[in-house]
């Protein structure tokens, strides 16, 4: 498996070492270092060196296939809600027919004559004709989904809308949902005798020659800050630890603290404190040293999206309790949760355990929405009462969800729930007025006070009112 290629199936490394990006499956933002004897999972990305992998599981036995089976089982167990209009019509229509026959019988029995009896019975049928009732749901749904599409929200079906009204808990995946899913340089600490530009320039030059995602994050930040980077000489990758080489005559080391320690270079007290602070906040600490002296510490992490904190606050105003659910380690998860304002965190959770967390919340009587983007989220999305997938995520997650957020912005989650609730409220309002017109006019028609022409006009007005009410959804923002 060459650098940049996906690993074809589950297996064991028999030759080489590399960093494997398994975020799609596990949610862990930092690539996992693997070497001979380590197991790797199919569909994960080889981000570093060349690997030779011996296949241990293929076909339906792979972890990816087992996750697909989880999704299928969850979708099969999810009963589709019956449409509200269908439930009303099932009762309303037989009652109207019975009432028309009763009206006909009543007027004939009272000797009013066949013409008067039929006029009253036909007026009952016309005034009760459920045109508006039939238009109530599809018109609101069409306008609501159209407006949603304009805002980057794709609603799969009408049953989704009823679910949003009852949601009280929203479970958020971390990597790619609350965060960007890309490693970025967050902090830079240097010794008193070194400036930040120099540390970035020398470290960035070395990291630029590596394919590792953490190295690329440092190189990208260095290029942005200092411009074109010098070309390193004698570049060497130290598997699982970092890189070393010569840049502009300096012997440079960049990598984990152990790389510098193994080289016999002590870490000054200030940099040690910076390193501990970075690790406490869930950042990956990268130490920079040259010419036998430690010069700086970088804090690299999967950056939180700019809109995530505001999105979480908005979800709370909608009456939802946010919960962070991730396969990443607890320190990283809690740091992200603090930054965006989430109190409850479930970390180091395997894909099948994500399903169990959702089921456990449902067993407590909660109605759960799940927001995710990875293959590891697909089963939980299908299990949740309402699944919302990031459009920037995997096809598996999108397929398993009820709503798709095209832009991949968490803030759109709140918009999606508000739009769904507004659309459902419009549908209910339409049904109420359609039903109300009919019920109010039925006694008049049955008593012979309403001729069929006026009944027809009233029925048409009812339909126009319903369509006009639905069109108000176009103003949703």
Q: What is the pLDDT of residues 347-384, one digit of tens each?
A: 888 777 888 999 999 999 999 999 988 777 888 888 89
**Domain spans, the chain:** 5-61, 84-139+418-475, 148-179+305-413, 181-303
Under CATH, what is the fold of the domain 5-61? 2.70.150
Percent of the chain with pLDDT over 90: 30
Alpha helices in 77-157 (DSSP H): 84-109, 114-127, 131-150
Mean pLDDT of 229-237: 88
Task: Identify the top-confidence range among 69-83, 143-157, 287-301.
Answer: 287-301
Q: What is the rounded distance in angstroms from the CA atom of residue 395 to the CA atom of residue 68?
A: 12
pLDDT of residue 53: 94
pLDDT of residue 50: 87
pLDDT of residue 32: 82
Range name among 147-151, 210-214, 395-399 with the lowest pLDDT average: 395-399
Question: For residue 206, what are the contacts with CB-CB under 8 A and spacing of at least 6?
Answer: 232, 235, 243, 244, 245, 247, 252, 254
Lookup: tokens for 115: 């013409």
Question: What is the Cα 157 distance to its own chain's centre?
Answer: 18
**pLDDT: is 32 or 187 the higher one?**
187
pLDDT of residue 437: 75
Reply yes or no on whether 173 is catalytic: yes
| pLDDT of 81 above 50 | no
Contact 267, 260 (CB under 8 A): yes
Lookup: tokens for 256: 């984990």
Catalytic residue, from 173, 302, 373, 409: name it.
Answer: 173
Nearest one of 416, 422, 383 to 400, comparing CA atoms: 383
Band of pLDDT at residue 84, cut at 50, 70 and 90: low
Dihedral (CA of 52, 56, 62, 63) sign: negative
Contact 229, 221 (CB under 8 A): no
pLDDT of residue 168: 92
| pLDDT of 451 above 70 | yes
Q: What is the rounded distance in angstroms from the CA atom of residue 239 to the CA atom of residue 19?
A: 9
Q: What is the rounded distance in angstroms from the CA atom of residue 377 to the CA atom of residue 349?
A: 11
| pLDDT of 51 above 70 | yes
Contact 195, 201 (CB under 8 A): no
Alpha helices in 264-307 (DSSP H): 269-280
Band of pLDDT at residue 345, cut at 50, 70 and 90: very high
Average pLDDT, the chain: 85
Range name among 64-78, 202-216, 221-235, 453-467 with the lowest pLDDT average: 64-78
What is the bridge-based pairing of β-strands 169-173 and 368-372? parallel
Dihedral (CA of 371, 375, 381, 383) sign: negative
pLDDT of residue 67: 66
SS3 at position 99: helix
| pLDDT of 459 above 60 | yes
| pLDDT of 76 above 80 | no
Which homologous superfamily does the CATH classification assign to the domain defined by 148-179+305-413? Answer: HAD superfamily/HAD-like (3.40.50.1000)
Question: For residue 330, what are the contacts with CB-CB under 8 A and spacing of at least 6?
Answer: 345, 347, 348
What is the bridge-based pairing of β-strands 321-325 and 293-304? unpaired
- Total residue count of the chain as it appears in this document: 477
Instruction: Assign 3-state DSSP to the chain and report helix, strand, coil percentages, each to 5.
Output: 50, 20, 25
- CATH class held by domain 181-303: alpha beta
Q: b/e string for 204-231 if b means 16 or more Cβ within 10 A?
A: bbbbbbbebbbbbbbbbbbbeebeebee
**pLDDT: is 239 or 258 the higher one?**
258
Q: What is the pLDDT of residues 103-119, one digit of tens each?
A: 889 888 888 788 888 88
Range name among 55-59, 124-128, 297-301, 307-311 with the lowest pLDDT average: 124-128
Q: What is the rounded distance in angstroms from the CA atom of residue 81 to the CA atom of residue 469?
A: 24
**pLDDT: is 140 or 172 the higher one?**
172
Contact 256, 287 (CB under 8 A): yes
pLDDT of residue 79: 38
Contact 176, 23 (CB under 8 A): yes
Question: How deeply is 95 buried, as exposed, middle or buried, from its count of CB atoms within 10 A (0-12, 13-18, 19+)?
Answer: exposed
Band of pLDDT at residue 200, cut at 50, 70 and 90: very high
Contact 139, 128 (CB under 8 A): no
SS3 at position 457: helix
Q: In DSSP terms, which residues pair with 188 in a beta bridge?
A: 298
> One fold for both 5-61 and 148-179+305-413?
no
List strands edge to edge, sheet with 368-372: 153-155, 403-405, 386-390, 368-372, 169-173, 321-325, 344-346
Band of pLDDT at residue 279, cut at 50, 70 and 90: confident
**pLDDT: is 398 or 202 the higher one?**
202
């Amino acid at each position: 498996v060459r650098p940049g290629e996906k690993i074809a199936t589950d297996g064991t490394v028999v030759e080489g070492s590399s960093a494997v990006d398994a975020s799609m499956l596990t949610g862990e933002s930092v690539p996992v270092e693997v070497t001979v004897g380590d197991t790797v999972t199919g569909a994960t990305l080889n981000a570093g060196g060349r690997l030779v992998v011996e296949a241990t599981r293929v076909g339906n036995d792979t972890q990816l296939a087992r996750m697909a089976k989880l999704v299928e089982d969850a979708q099969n167990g999810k009963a589709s809600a019956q449409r509200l209009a269908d439930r009303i019509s099932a009762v309303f229509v037989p009652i109207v027919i019975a009432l028309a026959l009763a009206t006909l019988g009543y007027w004939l029995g009272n000797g009013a004559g066949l013409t008067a009896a039929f006029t009253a019975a036909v007026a009952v049928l016309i005034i009760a004709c459920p045109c508006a009732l039939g238009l109530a749901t599809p018109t609101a749904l069409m306008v609501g989904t159209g407006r949603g599409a304009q805002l980057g929200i794709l609603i799969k079906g009408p049953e989704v809308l009823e679910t949003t009204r009852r949601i009280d808990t929203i479970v958020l995946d971390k990597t790619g949902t609350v965060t960007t899913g890309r490693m970025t340089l967050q902090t830079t600490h240097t010794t008193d005798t070194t400036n930040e530009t120099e540390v970035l320039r020398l470290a960035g030059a070395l990291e630029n020659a590596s394919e590792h995602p953490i190295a690329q994050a440092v190189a990208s930040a260095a290029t942005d800050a200092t411009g074109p980077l010098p070309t390193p000489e004698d570049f060497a990758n130290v598997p699982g630890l970092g890189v070393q080489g010569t840049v502009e005559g300096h012997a440079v080391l960049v990598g984990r603290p152990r790389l510098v320690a193994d080289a016999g270079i002590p870490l000054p007290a200030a940099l040690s404190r910076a390193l501990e602070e970075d690790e406490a906040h869930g950042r990956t600490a990268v130490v920079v040293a040259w010419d036998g002296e430690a010069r700086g510490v970088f804090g690299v992490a999967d950056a939180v999206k700019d809109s995530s904190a505001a999105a979480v606050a908005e979800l709370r105003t909608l009456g939802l309790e946010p919960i962070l659910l991730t396969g990443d380690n607890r320190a990283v998860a809690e740091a992200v949760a603090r930054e965006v304002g989430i109190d409850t965190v479930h970390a180091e959770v395997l894909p099948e355990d994500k399903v169990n967390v959702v089921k456990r919340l449902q067993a407590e009587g909660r109605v759960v929405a799940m927001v995710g983007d990875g293959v590891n989220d697909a089963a939980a999305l299908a299990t949740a009462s309402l699944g919302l997938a990031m459009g920037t995520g995997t096809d598996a997650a999108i397929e398993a969800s009820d709503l798709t957020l095209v832009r991949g912005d968490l803030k759109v989650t709140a918009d999606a729930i508000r739009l769904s609730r507004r659309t459902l409220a419009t549908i209910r309002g339409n049904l109420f007025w359609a039903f109300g017109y009919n019920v109010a006019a039925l006694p008049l028609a049955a008593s012979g006070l309403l001729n069929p022409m006026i009944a027809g006009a009233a029925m048409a007005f009812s339909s126009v009112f319903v369509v006009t009410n639905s069109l108000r959804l176009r103003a949703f923002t």
